[in-house]
Structure 1
Amino acid sequence: MKKDTKHIRADIVNKSLTYIYKYIDTNITLDELARLNKVSKFHLHRIFKEETGENIFDRINSIRLQKIANLLISNKYSTISEIRQSCGYSSHSSFIKAFKKRFNFTPSQWKKNGYLEYSKKIVSFDISPNDNFYTIEPIIKKTSKRVCAYIRHKGYDLSVTKTWSRLMAFSYEKELNNTTQIGVFYDNPINTAYEECSYIAAIEVDNRFISTNSISKLEIEGSLCAVFHYEGIYGDAVKLLVYIYNYWLPKSGYEAKSLPPYALYHKNHFLDENREFSLDFYIPIQVV
């Protein structure tokens, strides 16, 4: 496969997924995704399948269900119908059927701590919060849009190191010095298998950046955020994420938005030889 072809195909997948995550609360159609990428519906469907191994509609449905499962845990003040609609499910009956098929619990059962039973089957670490987490007082602030160059990665494990190394090599080649490193976390590992969690390794760039060499461009939306500063070692960052969504948010007076959380790394444990990190975790929120 030629380099240009590889880049075009990667860009089609990345544009499509970015659009899906951004507009997950709407009825996303193949027509609009095809227009976005300036290709035919058949071409889009084939490329997405070949590049990801997934049917595009199956992926949209999976993203919706994973987001709903997370919001049912964190957003205690929202009804199941409100959460369903915020993630683009118009039909209540089809949603109930799809959710139970995916998680083996009804949404009501899941909301009433069914997720704890489910997590025992897929989580390899103790989801009980570190006592240090309770001492963190987040800052609530409005953030601005960030423009990033990025690479997608599947999994929250140490295999992310190779993705970060590749991105930083690209940064070196393009002389993008002293850029802010950002990790975007799309999934909660208590409802999505660790190796299946979607992650983005990103560096902040100027708005004039043009996608190249299979490195795509992403805009992180500005939002009201709860910002948690934490320092630790590899493994602690995901535990902090679980703490925020499972323990802090339900009692905070805020609820999570469907936007993904992200970390600004001051020290990146995927690039540090001692696997240590210092980061600010940004959680998009809304007032209850």
Structure 2
Amino acid sequence: MRRKETNLTHSKLANDLLNYINNHIETQINIDELAAEFGLSKFHFHRIFKEQTGSNIYETIRSVRLQKASNLLITNKYSTITQIANMCGYSSQTSFIRVFKERFSQTPKLWRNGGYKAYSNAILSGTCNALLTHTDFSHLEAKIVKTKPKSVYYIRQKGYNRQAVQIWQKMMAWVYTNEIEQYEQIAIYHDNPIITPLHECSYVACIAPMDDKKLKNTSLPIFEMYDGLCATFEVEGQYNDMLKLIQWVYHEWLPESGYEAITIPSYTIFEKNHFLSDDGLFKCTYYLPVKYV
């Protein structure tokens, strides 16, 4: 029982820190001060976060900064590279260019001039068959909505792959155990899967109960989802279509939209979940947190 309580406490700490990083990524995040605020030594702070997420804190901060920069270079056409570096927490253009090139094997300038398309295609072709799908998303119309806060129970997985069926089955076993009748199935992409190798992505399977029924088993960790402005897209298809949809949203729709993606992860609310359906098809609404620019 104590181990279960400890795991829930550690999971909450990791999620609180992830939320802090996403919401303050433009600042110089001080890990020593954060560890002290959580009442932990720096060593235990790092150990708990790595245990829960599979990544260390500094790697996560750098990843979130560079994912934000990769989007801003595409959508913020009138911002200089120095300005974008500052928006992502880098104090100098030189250091930003160096770490960007280490991560994406090209300079920010080359990325902005179209290099992002080749990089993304290489990610998808090297890890799955997403490029083989010929699904056309150009007919999709975005709806801009203001989402409401909701509490979700979840299981996190390192890697975005077909093994996600296992954690979704566990989530459904939890639903049946608690006799929950009204709920949403939500998938959260903590890393952008079109620019991050899929085996490195953090994927989160969530259940959001839609009633006030008292749960019999609360062994799963819980957190509050983002409530704010989102662009939404209603779509149906099969496994590989989801990655192509995300690529189309970021690379085709977003640059011309007048909106900017923020560091809050995108997510999907399923009407039909391809990881659980017998035919491997999904029907869902994809949510991209954005801000007006």
TM-score relative to the length of structure 2:
0.85
Identity of aligned residues (%): 44
Q: Give, in angstroms, the shift of residue 95 of structure 1.
A: 1.6
- Please give the residue correspondences for 1:1-288 in structure 2 after superposition, counting only pairs within 5 Å: 2-35=3-36, 37-52=38-53, 54-124=55-125, 125=129, 127=131, 130=134, 132-205=136-209, 212-213=218-219, 215-288=220-293
SS at match of 1:132: coil
Q: Give, in angstroms, the shift of residue 35 of structure 1.
A: 4.5
Cα deviation, 1:29-82, whole Å, max 9, x if unaligned, reads 223432454322221123334555543212211222123223323444544344
CA distance in 1, matches of 2:283, 2:165: 16
SS at match of 2:183: coil
CA distance in 1, matches of 2:139, 2:80: 30
Q: Do the aligned residues in 1 keep the contact of 2:184 with 2:210 (CA within 8 Å)? A: no
CA distance in 1, matches of 2:52, 2:264: 25
CA distance in 1, matches of 2:11, 2:96: 31
Q: 1:151 to 1:21 in 2, by over 3 A?
A: farther
CA distance in 2, matches of 1:49, 1:145: 27
SS at match of 1:64: helix
Q: 1:187 to 1:15 in 2, by over 3 A?
A: same
Q: Do the aligned residues in 2 keep the contact of 1:188 with 1:242 (CA within 8 Å)? A: no
CA distance in 2, matches of 1:217, 1:187: 19
Q: Do the aligned residues in 2 keep the contact of 1:265 with 1:280 (CA within 8 Å)? A: yes
CA distance in 2, matches of 1:61, 1:39: 22
Q: Do the aligned residues in 1 keep the contact of 2:183 with 2:209 (CA within 8 Å)? A: yes
Q: Do the aligned residues in 1 keep the contact of 2:117 with 2:251 (CA within 8 Å)? A: no
Of 85-94 and 154-163, deviating more is 85-94
SS at match of 1:249: helix
Q: Do the aligned residues in 1 keep the contact of 2:182 with 2:211 (CA within 8 Å)? A: no
Q: Give, in angstroms, the shift of residue 128 of structure 1.
A: 8.8
Cα deviation, 1:196-227, whole Å, max 9, x if unaligned, reads 122221122479999953x2222222222221
CA distance in 2, matches of 1:243, 1:285: 15
Q: What is the CA RMSD across the aligned residues, in angstroms? A: 2.9
CA distance in 1, matches of 2:79, 2:225: 25
Q: Give, in angstroms, the shift of residue 134 of structure 1.
A: 0.7
Unaligned runs of 5+ in 2: none
Q: Do the aligned residues in 1 keep the contact of 2:168 with 2:205 (CA within 8 Å)? A: yes
TM-score relative to the length of structure 1:
0.86
Cα deviation, 1:146-178, whole Å, max 9, x if unaligned, reads 221122222221111111122222222233332
CA distance in 1, matches of 2:165, 2:66: 28
Q: 1:146 to 1:130 in 2, by over 3 A?
A: farther
CA distance in 2, matches of 1:16, 1:207: 28
Paired AA for residue 246 in structure 2? L
Q: Do the aligned residues in 2 keep the contact of 1:137 with 1:228 (CA within 8 Å)? A: yes
